[in-house]
Structure 1
Amino acid sequence: MSDKKMPLTGFSSLAIHAGHTTDPNYAHLTPIYASSTYVFDEAEQGMRRFSGEEKGYIYSRWGNPTISESEEKIAALESFGVTNHAGNPLELKAILHSSGMAALSTLLISNLKSGDKILTHFSLYGGTQDLVERILPPLGIEAIIADLRDLNKAAELMKADSSIKMLYLETPANPTLNCVDIEALTNLAKQYNLIVACDNTFATPYLQQPFKYGVDYVFHSTTKFLNGHGTAIGGVLIGRDIEKMNTHVTKVHRLLGGNSNPFDAFLLTMGMKTLEVRMDRHCHNAMEVANFLEQHPAISKVNYLGLHSHPDYKTGAKQMRHPGAMLSFEMKDGLEAAKKCIDNLQMCIRAVSLGTCDTLLCHPASMTHFSVPKEKRELYGITDGLIRMSVGIENVQDILTDLDQALQ
């Protein structure tokens, strides 16, 4: 059998085959390497591996074959069709973590120090907002939060404060689906030598590739669409500076201890194989649902990037393949109506999280964003009558029927 590998030209082909190496026992799928440590042929080999002179596994907190496949697959998907400044295929390094918050912690701690500031925007995931507003300030790192859809305001903030070292984007944002212009903001940030990081959880690399626009890091909660089945918690940090990722960022990751595990990595790898076909169905269903909800008399507003009524429709269309599977909608009668709608569901699921095959609905103000003060929530558009919906891949008519009866 030839050792040569043909270049893969399709996203789904990469999602299935990227990162896979032949198992020594010729297993079709990479096994779950349930081993905490790895043996050396001799003491000298162990010394060479610890010094970095020889590649090889040492300890599963530092690396594991099952985890490596997931990392390489995600890096391949985020770089698919993207070139570097020299016009060559972009190379990326991914580090899998035990959760999205663990990956975010590695990103922030490996790039920021006391006295630095991070510039970000309204309507972040509740955990992210808590981290930047409650955990970072005692470490001497301040967050500046602004509406970054206003490029003039973004430029004004960057110019006025040299302590700003990182621009952190989450687009589409949770749960209002606000969308910021990755390319324009990255170009602006680079004028002030800022590190740019982007949370790509809602979009996935199938719908959006931030590295195409020059960002330095991409972050995912792999728990969501990448896994796709709600079977494992995980997070990943991907970076374009390979040397920094292999040295300083890897060191921070290992010392913080937020490593993934072989079983969750295996589940993630299996989930990513169907990413393209799942996302196509998710997006098709979400568009149907959004159109239905926009016409419903019980609803005052629908936040979905596929609707022309969304203020960021053009930005989403510019940088995303499809508008995505996430939406939120505002009940005319507020909190009580939102509770009744959620309670009346018969097929769709009452649960937080997102990105699973089944449709999930939750109440952000009392659930995912409960720790955000009410005045801030309302400023960001997260009102008591808002319901967030992760549209699944069920038969779309069944989703619509369930929503219709729940809204009666």
Structure 2
Amino acid sequence: MDKNKEYKFDTLSIHGGQEGKNPSNALNPPIFQTSTFVFNNTEHVRKVMNFESDDYVYTRGNNPTLRLFENRMASLEEGNGSVAFASGMAAISSVLFSFLKPGDNVIINNTLYGSSYSVATELLPKYNVDYKVVDLSNPESLNDKIDENTKVIYFETPSNPNLRIIDIKKVVEIAKKHNIKVVVDNTFATPYFQKPLTLGVDVVVHSATKYICGHGDVVAGVAVSKNQDYIHKLKFEYMCEFGGAMSPFNAWLLLRGLKTLGVRMREHERNAKKVAKYLNTHPKVKSVMYPGLEDFKGHNIAKEQMKGYGAMISFEIDGDLEDAKKVVDNVKLAKLAVSLGDCETLIELPAAMTHLGYPKEQLAKFGLTETMIRISVGLENVDDIIEDLDQSLGLV
């Protein structure tokens, strides 16, 4: 691959991060399914241990298959390095721990994936790290919450599950005035639709389980940054020490998934736009949350900072919790499941599933309701997806 040429996304998703030929001139990279690497002599050991050599010691720290995946993700996110993790939550928690110490506090958006919310509100306080919950869709509200101990602002955009859009540039502008790190979960958008690092964000995290993989057969995470020194610290002081290492086989599956990321995201979005328009006119649907709808509150910001709107949709039923359960219980094509980003269309009830940790009496405070249904629009024929939703909604 010509390092001096600026290749487009679809090309980078297949060739990015590749250095030279694969062993034995194989088209696809091999899986280096080994825990340990050997040395030529003790001088070789010294050079590797002192990072004077790019050779390997032990797969928990580095592995050729993992390194290729990390390099490719850095290329796609326009970062200078990345760290692969065993899961999205391993990536998120490790990044937060890497920036925080006892006495500090982190600001989180009022809507987050349930486990991310639990890390900030339950796990970090056990280590004397406080948290503040802010509606970051209004970035100016940060000014009243930031204090001398605020070290990190963490959010998703689009957020899970209400698809709220946060103005990345404005949050970064405020954060930089106070020397605060900004960490963004880019799982929903993927680097195909959004590149937070180019907007000034310090670290981007992904649950690579989702769109990066795309096939529902991997659990993995990744963190990407423009700061190579930070990436080195995150890998060897946190990932290695916490032990959240990705397996070489999973890295290989992710490399395979990345080859079609752009193609998949275009088709996912094409289907999602049609599903969102259908839901937006359905008499049993009270509201539709999808950034691609012009009347969606964050549409204009999304249009400015994103290349597209993704394939995640949430909608509220004009009814009660039992009506919402009836909808998700009676789909025939869509699958009732907690994940997202797969080829299959997945449907779920956030308040009863992925966001179960939120106190029910305060759901509205966090931008959630019991009748909110989330759909990860898949790659099936869109007419079949809509027909499936239509028959299910017809039972309410």
> With structure 1 as the length reference, what TM-score do the two structures score?
0.94
Partner of 2:354: 368
- 5-14 or 69-78: which moved more? 5-14
1:55 has 2:54 as partner: yes
Range that drifts further, 186-195 or 142-151: 142-151
Q: What does residue 97 of structure 1 align with?
A: 85
- Contact 2:61/2:235, CA 8 A, preserved across alignment: no
Report the Cα distance in structure 1 between the residues aligned to 2:230 and 2:164, rounded to whole angstroms.
31
Superposed CA deviations along residues 309-340 of structure 1, whole A, max 9, x for unmatched, are: 32111111111111110010111112111111
Q: Over aligned residues, Cα RMSD in angstroms?
A: 1.3
Aligned-partner residue type, residue 15 of structure 1: S
Displacement, 1:267? 0.6
Answering whether residue 109 of structure 2 is matched by residue 121 of structure 1, we say yes
Name 1:271's counterpart in structure 2.
257
Q: Which residue number in structure 1 is paired with residue 77 of structure 2?
A: 78
Counterparts of 2:270 and 2:324 in 1: how far apart (Å)?
25
Task: Measure how far apart 1:123 and its partner are.
Answer: 1.0
The alpha-carbon distance between structure 1 residues 359 and 256, as it changes in their structure 2 partners (threshold 3 A), is same
CA distance in 2, matches of 1:39, 1:304: 52
Q: Greater shift after overlay, 376-385 or 339-348?
A: 376-385
Q: Which structure 1 residue ranges, 4+ long, deviate > 3 Å from structure 2?
A: 3-6
1:330 counterpart SS class:
strand
The AA in structure 1 aligned to 2:68 is E
Correspondence for 1:130 among 118, 121, 127: 118
* CA distance in structure 2 between the aligned counterparts of 1:212 and 1:134, rounded to whole angstroms: 32
1:106–1:249: 8 Å Cα contact kept in structure 2? no
* Aligned pair partner of 1:348 in 334, 357, 363: 334
Number of corresponding residues: 393
One-letter amino acid matched to 2:210: K
Rounded to whole Å, the distance in 2 between the matches of 1:251 and 1:121 is 27
In structure 2, which of residues 320, 329, 334 is the aligned counterpart of residue 334 of structure 1? 320
2:7 alignment counterpart: 9
- CA distance 1:98–1:360, change in 2 (3 Å): same
Q: SS at 2:69's partner residue?
A: helix
Asked if 1:155 corresponds to 2:153, the answer is: no
CA contact (8 A) 1:186 1:214 kept: yes
Greater shift, 214-223 or 23-32, is seen at: 23-32
Aligned partner (choices 136, 141, 148) of residue 129 of structure 2: 141
| Aligned mate of 1:204, from 190, 209, 217 | 190
Task: Report if the CA contact (8 A) 1:70-1:265 is conserved.
Answer: yes
Gap runs ≥5 in structure 1: 80-90
Are residues 248 and 368 of structure 1, via their aligned partners in 2, closer, same or farther at CA, if it must alter by over 3 Å? Answer: closer
Map 1:3-42 to 2 at 5 A.
7-21=5-19, 22-42=21-41
Which 5+ residue runs of structure 2 have no aligned equivalent?
none
1:43 has 2:42 as partner? yes
Letter in 2 for 1:344: N
Which is further off, 8-17 or 95-104?
A: 8-17
Partners of 2:248 and 2:365 lie apart in 1 by 42
- Between the two proteins, what is the percent identity of the paired residues? 40
In structure 2, the residue matched to 1:84 is none
**SS in structure 1 of the partner of residue 276 of structure 2:** helix
1:179-228 C-alpha deviation (Å, 9 max, x unpaired)? 11000110111011101111100000010000111111000000001111
Could you say which residue in structure 1 is the equivalent of 2:156?
Answer: 170
Corresponding residue of 1:245: 231
Cα distance in 2 for partners of 1:364, 1:157 equals 28
Relative to structure 1, the CA distance from residue 317 to residue 224 in structure 2 (aligned partners, 3 Å threshold; closer, same or farther) is same
| CA contact 1:110–1:248 (8 Å) conserved in 2 | yes
Q: What is the TM-score normalised by the length of structure 2?
A: 0.97
Q: Kindly provide the amino acid, as one letter, of the partner of residue 56 in structure 1.
A: D
* Residues 1:399 and 1:238: Cα distance change in structure 2 (over 3 Å): same
Per-residue deviation at 1:6? 6.1
Match of 2:204 among 191, 195, 218: 218
Partner amino acid for 2:339?
S
Pair 151,105 (structure 1): closer, same or farther in 2 beyond 3 Å: closer
Distance of 1:241 and 1:383 partners within structure 2: 39
How many Å separate the matches in 2 of 1:99 and 1:376? Answer: 29
